[in-house]
């Protein structure tokens, strides 16, 4: 079962409006438990009870906890894609500046949605690479502006590497003391900036 099918299943109900409202309640409940109890500590019955739904109703929309986690990851990726679309409208002039702003966007996003980093670290969800593949594709499109002569396969490797670095940053920053996060953010910006500056050529003037 692919991720898009999972998400489409979560929209089925006797009436579309009621179904969407029920799904939103269930996902909000799942977010609460994933953040407070962790993925392993969250139960389907707990999610259903907090959302005011029966366990049977929950299973109607989401056959397993894994399906709920994937649905949330897809929703987060949709939200992040919207922010990256806005970022792409006015890209910085250099790969280094690009990396600095990109890290800020990602880490600010994760700070507001801590469950994203939690779910990204769940072994049961790791085989589903849709979110990572999508992020790599989005970054590849933006990075092409800085490396117009780079071959597609090589650019793909660079974007995948950058995506993995970003994923590590998003997961790792929540594990350090809050007082150290600003310093760690700068180190992550420096690391990604150095990598992209080395791998990508200078971006042609946008007005040329």
CB-CB neighbours of 115 under 10 Å: 20
Q: At residue 73, does pLDDT exceed 50?
A: yes
Digit-coded pLDDT (tens) for 120-156? 888 888 756 566 777 888 899 999 999 988 999 999 9
Residue 28 or 138, more confident: 28
**CA separation, residue 32 to residues 107, 135, 154, 202 (Å):** 20, 25, 40, 44
Q: Give the fold, CATH level 3, of 66-201.
A: Tetracycline Repressor; domain 2 (1.10.357)
Average pLDDT of the residues in 6-18? 58
Q: Give the fold, CATH level 3, of 13-63.
A: Arc Repressor Mutant, subunit A (1.10.10)
Digit-coded pLDDT (tens) for 157-197? 999 999 989 888 887 887 788 788 889 899 999 999 999 99
Describe the crossing of helices 95-112 and 130-143 by its angle, rounded to 10 degrees: 150
Please report, for the chain, the start and end positions of each structural domain, with discontinuous segments joined by +: 13-63, 66-201
- The token duo for 14 is 């006797």
- For every residue of 26-95, DSSP letters joined together read HHHHHHHHHHHHHHHH--HHHHHHHHT--HHHHHHH-SSHHHHHHHHHHHHHHHHHHHHHHHHTT--SSH
Residue 202 or 143, more confident: 143
């Amino acid at each position: 079962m692919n991720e898009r099918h999972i998400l489409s299943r979560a929209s089925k109900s006797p009436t579309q409006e009621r179904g969407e409202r029920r799904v939103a309640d269930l996902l909000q409940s799942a977010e609460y438990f994933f953040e407070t109890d962790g993925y392993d500590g969250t139960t389907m019955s707990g999610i259903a009870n907090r959302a005011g739904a029966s366990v049977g109703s929950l299973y109607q929309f989401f056959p397993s906890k894994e399906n709920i986690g994937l649905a949330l990851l897809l929703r987060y990726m949709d939200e992040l894609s919207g922010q990256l679309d806005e970022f792409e409208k006015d890209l910085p002039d250099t790969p280094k500046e690009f990396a600095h702003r990109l890290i800020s966007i990602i880490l600010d996003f994760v700070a507001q949605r801590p469950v994203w980093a939690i779910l990204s670290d769940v072994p049961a969800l790791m085989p589903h690479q849709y979110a990572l593949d999508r992020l790599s594709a989005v970054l590849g499109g933006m990075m092409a502006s800085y490396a117009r002569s780079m071959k597609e396969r090589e650019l793909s490797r660079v974007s995948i590497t950058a995506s993995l670095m970003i994923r590590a940053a998003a997961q790792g920053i929540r594990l350090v003391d809050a007082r150290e996060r600003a310093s760690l953010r700068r180190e992550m910006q420096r690391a990604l900036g150095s990598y992209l500056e080395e791998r990508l050529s200078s971006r042609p003037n946008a007005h040329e």
